Amino acid sequence: MVQFALPKNSKITKGKKHPAPEGAKKTKAFKVYRWNPDDGQTPRMDEFEIDLTKCGPMVLDALIHIKETVDPTLTFRRSCREGVCGSCAMNIDGMNTLACTKATADVSGEVCINPLPHMPVMKDLVPDLSVPYAQLATIEPWMKTESPAPSRERLQSHDDANLLNGEDGKGPAACILCFCCSTACPSYWWNGDRFLGPAVLLQAYRWLADTRDEATGERLDQLEDPFRLYRCHTIMNCTNTCPKGLNPAKAIAEIKKMMVARQA
């Protein structure tokens, strides 16, 4: 009988516990994934009891507080702190989201924080996003035109602009490439080497929907592949987890409709 076993040192173990400081007024426990590629140790979950009166209201505030006052070796990405850059994407309380926009008060009980799932981990909460960034480059995410450039900008009508921005501001142009959607997609877990994933396909649709772009046929040709586009099975994890409230699944469906329309 075939037997399956996890690779050595792959099981996550219980890590260090850092109790709340003496005199803490409002405490909450944060369990944080820790792994250092240089020490040869098994990944662990460290527990930090934090006085919430000493930090801001968001999970990212708590992580910064931990790094500054408890454990300076804690490693994570962050930048804008306003839900714009996508740097602090991680799995919080079982959902991929942005640490800077996830309120600690929204999590009942302890806060469990892991790196984005199904990506190689570089250290602690930092995933290796080399593959999705390389896939992004393959769709050539910039405007491609053949007509002479105008003397000023290329104009769009209000309706054309709304194809990108959405009436509610949640169109494909609002994607910040945090990759919460792609790392929540089972199809991407299974075929991440060939399926582009919802984040990159949402970006592809952003340029297909742009009326100023003149390379629609070329872009569709690049996506005409059994894996690059059609591994999407409309599971909807991508739309459910998007921290910006976007709808990658709908964008992928629109690309498929464009594929059919050009064959008619």
pLDDT digits (tens, 9 = 90+) for 158-172: 999 999 999 999 999
Q: How far apart are CA 214 and CA 35, in angstroms?
A: 46
Q: What is the pLDDT of residue 263?
A: 83
Mean pLDDT confidence for 204-214: 97
Q: How far apart are CA 92 and CA 76, in angstroms?
A: 13
Q: Which of 186, 197, 185 is nearest to 227 (CA)?
A: 197
Note whether 132 and 179 are within 8 A (CB).
yes
Q: Across all residues in the chain, what is the average pLDDT?
A: 95
Q: What is the residue extent of each domain of the chain?
A: 13-127, 130-142+161-261
Mean pLDDT confidence for 188-204: 97
- CATH superfamily, domain 130-142+161-261, is Alpha-helical ferredoxin (1.10.1060.10)
Helical pair 130-138 and 197-208, crossing angle rounded to 10 deg: 20
Q: What is the pLDDT of residue 242?
A: 98
Q: What is the pLDDT of residue 129?
A: 97
Q: Which of 251, 122, 80 is nearest to 175 (CA)?
A: 251
258 band by pLDDT with thresholds 50, 70 and 90: very high
Model's pTM, two decimal places?
A: 0.93
Q: Is 90 exceeded by the pLDDT of residue 40?
A: no
Mean pLDDT confidence for 11-18: 92
Q: Which two tokens stand for residue 54?
A: 């000493």
Q: Is 90 exceeded by the pLDDT of residue 66?
A: yes
Q: Is 70 exceeded by the pLDDT of residue 98?
A: yes
10 band by pLDDT with thresholds 50, 70 and 90: confident
- We find that the CATH architecture of domain 13-127 is Roll (3.10)
Mean pLDDT confidence for 178-201: 97
